[in-house]
Amino acid sequence: MQHTIKPEEHGPLGAPMAQAVEACVHCGFCLAACPTYQEFGQEMDSPRGRIVLMKQVLEGTLAWADAQPHVDRCLGCLSCEPACPSGVPYRDLISPFRAVGREKAVRTPGEKLRRWLAERTIPHPGRFRLALVGARVGRALGRLVPAVLRPMLTLAPAKVPAAVTLARVTPAQGERRARVALLAGCAQQVLDPDINVATIEVLARNGVEVIVPEAQGCCGGLSWHTGNLAAAQAFARKNLDAFPADVDAILTNAAGCGSAMHEYHLILRGTADEARAKEFERRVMDVSVFLAKIGLREKPRGAAGGGQTLKVAYHDACHLANAQGVREQPRALLRAIPGAVVCELADAHLCCGSAGTYNLDQPETANSLGAQKARAALAALGGGEGVVASGNIGCLTQLRVHLEKIGSPVRVRHTMQVLRDAYRAEKKF
């Protein structure tokens, strides 16, 4: 697309944004893949429409406030990327655009408060745990809580799991095949600490030594996707320093975190740490990719104690499937469980509506998408017993909430939990 953007006017992120705009040929193939185009049915809420709006803002011919509602409605799910025949790197546009426009955004005091609370709590496990306990009080107050904060209460679990302290080093079982460092994930270790426990057990059973660096922090994804570049850079630098060089891989088990860590080169673009970020990214991979690469040494025994069929409705987290191109590896690991049948969801490319803090900021759209995804998961299971699996804590939380809303007892588990339970031959669903 032709444009008159002057990249140098927008700092180090100007050039990638201009290149993304340039790559778009306005063909519209991405429209059918976009969940918000499906929800709102208008061009301005499609990838192509948003690219035009962002181009005009960057050119200086459109006010930020006119583009903001449509940019805010973008999930950042990147479903538009694999659908685009021209290879438009939409990710190089949307988060940088939010970052350069953060100061110009027009928000109500309530919206500012909600963003402030999310940014100050979710990336910090201690604070987030306290906030979730506080949410119980908030729920008791009901309608006395301001409307802008109520989505936070809906998503907070009724019971916060006990905190788990992970060993700094977990030795490999049997002969050591590899040594990895694991990102523990800030929200994940509070909402479902068992995911890390399961991940470490699965890795150790397969001959992998796992270290959990003490000085690590949030991946920075929440800050990056909400346009807080300074905070995202601080988190990225902290992790560049915290993770050692003498490991075979840096593993993530939360798709959103893995995706953000793969964007450290963009987050730190134009800084002294850019080269270090590129080197770091090369070693980051999702745990499913790593396990598929080295192969399962220990064969899972079977999730229901052997001999039974286990239906697993696998939900592709957008930040795993679209952002990292990881689709087959988690399915292959699940299929390795004796008796497991991986069931595909209809409209699998559509986001579940979690998308970082999207279900807090855009609750109506998020609820609509969450309800659709919960129904699709149940349909995939054919209405019978089974489990819903995914590789991202945000998706797992969203699916849990929406399955509960429709009264379904089906459990939602991380892929590593399903695999770990299969090793132990435990029935957890």
Contact of 65 with 339, CB cutoff 8 Å: no
Distances in whole angstroms, Cα of residue 282 to Cα of each of 11, 219, 249, 260, 276: 25, 15, 9, 13, 10
User: Shortest gap between Cβ of 71 and ligand SF4 (angstroms)?
Assistant: 9
Helix-then-strand count for the chain, H and E: 23, 9
User: Shortest gap between Cβ of 252 and ligand SF4 (angstroms)?
Assistant: 20
Q: Which stretch binds ligand SF4 (CB under 6 A): 76-84, 191-199, 236-244, 269-277?
A: 76-84
Contact of 303 with 421, CB cutoff 8 Å: yes
Q: Which stretch binds ligand SF4 (CB under 6 A): 62-70, 74-82, 185-193, 240-248?
A: 74-82
Query: Rule CB under 6 A: which of 50-69 touch ligand SF4?
Result: 50
- Considering only 14, 16, 47, 391, the residue that binds ligand SF4 (CB under 6 A) is 47
- Considering only 56, 79, 253, 362, the residue that binds ligand SF4 (CB under 6 A) is 79
Helix axis angle, 125-141 relative to 109-121, nearest 10°?
A: 140
Query: Rule CB under 6 A: which of 9-38 touch ligand SF4?
Result: 24-30, 33-36
Residues 6+ apart with CB under 8 A from 158: 136
User: Shortest gap between Cβ of 268 and ligand SF4 (angstroms)?
Assistant: 22
User: Shortest gap between Cβ of 351 and ligand SF4 (angstroms)?
Assistant: 6
Q: Does 74 bind ligand SF4 (CB under 6 A)?
A: yes
Instruction: Name residue 287's amino acid.
Output: V
Contact of 418 with 303, CB cutoff 8 Å: yes
Q: Which stretch binds ligand SF4 (CB under 6 A): 42-50, 101-109, 186-194, 221-229?
A: 42-50
Q: Please compute, for residue 119, the number of CA atoms within 13 A of its CA located in the half-sphere on the CB side.
A: 18
53 or 312, CB closer to ligand SF4?
A: 53
- Considering only 88, 172, 369, 389, the residue that binds ligand SF4 (CB under 6 A) is 88
Q: What are the backbone dihedrals phi and psi of residue 258, each rounded to the nearest 5 degrees, phi first?
A: -60, -40
Q: Does 337 bind ligand SF4 (CB under 6 A)?
A: no
Q: Does 48 bind ligand SF4 (CB under 6 A)?
A: yes
Q: Give the DSSP letter string of 106-150.
A: ---HHHHHHHHHHHHHTTSHHHHHHHHHHHHHHHHHGGGS-GGGH
Q: Does 115 bind ligand SF4 (CB under 6 A)?
A: no
DSSP 8-state symbol, 31: G
Q: Does 229 bind ligand SF4 (CB under 6 A)?
A: no
User: Shortest gap between Cβ of 196 and ligand SF4 (angstroms)?
Assistant: 28
User: Shortest gap between Cβ of 99 and ligand SF4 (angstroms)?
Assistant: 16
Q: Give the DSSP letter string of 192-241.
A: -THHHHHHHHHHHHTTEEEE--TT----SHHHHHTT-HHHHHHHHHHHHH
Q: What are the backbone dihedrals phi and psi of residue 339, each rounded to the nearest 5 degrees, phi first?
A: 85, -5
Query: Rule CB under 6 A: which of 268-287 touch ligand SF4?
Result: none
71 or 208, CB closer to ligand SF4?
A: 71
User: Shortest gap between Cβ of 1 and ligand SF4 (angstroms)?
Assistant: 7
Query: Rule CB under 6 A: which of 154-193 touch ligand SF4?
Result: none
* Count of residues in contact with ligand SF4, rule CB under 6 A: 25
Contact of 387 with 412, CB cutoff 8 Å: yes
User: Shortest gap between Cβ of 16 and ligand SF4 (angstroms)?
Assistant: 15
Q: Alpha-carbon distance 231 to 358, whole Å?
A: 18
What residue ranges bind ligand SF4 (CB under 6 A)? 24-30, 33-36, 47-48, 50, 74-80, 84, 86, 88, 90
